[in-house]
Amino acid sequence: MEMNLDDEMQALFILSSLPDSWATLVVSLSNSAPNGKLNLSMVKDCMLNEEERRRDALVTENRGRQGHKGGNKGYKNRSKIRAAKGKSKGEDDSKD
């Protein structure tokens, strides 16, 4: 049995099968369709753009500062190393 679906039906079928996390895309795509009709290429393009946007957002979210201290210990210790280099041998830290 062969079943042919026209372009608009395929687009609607794909949109209806998307998970709830894609609801914003489905609504915006449905509202922006010219003459109220969707086509398959429009849906594919928007889905690929959304997938790329989500991937980029995930990469950006993983960048940034670390949540814990000590992520870059070498940088924090440089001032202590510089201070130690400035002292002469036998010089005491305490002041009398």
CB 41 within 8 A of CB 68: no
Q: Can you give the pLDDT at residue 44? A: 96
> Are 12 and 38 within 8 A, CB to CB?
yes
* Cα–Cα distance for residue pair 6/76, rounded to 1 Å: 64
Nearest to 47 by CA among 20, 14, 7: 14
pLDDT tens track, the chain, 96 positions: 888 989 999 999 999 999 999 999 999 999 999 888 999 999 999 999 999 999 999 888 777 766 666 555 555 566 666 777 776 666 655 555
Q: CA quadruple 27, 33, 35, 38: dihedral positive or negative?
A: negative
pLDDT tens per residue across span 20-35: 999 999 999 999 998 8
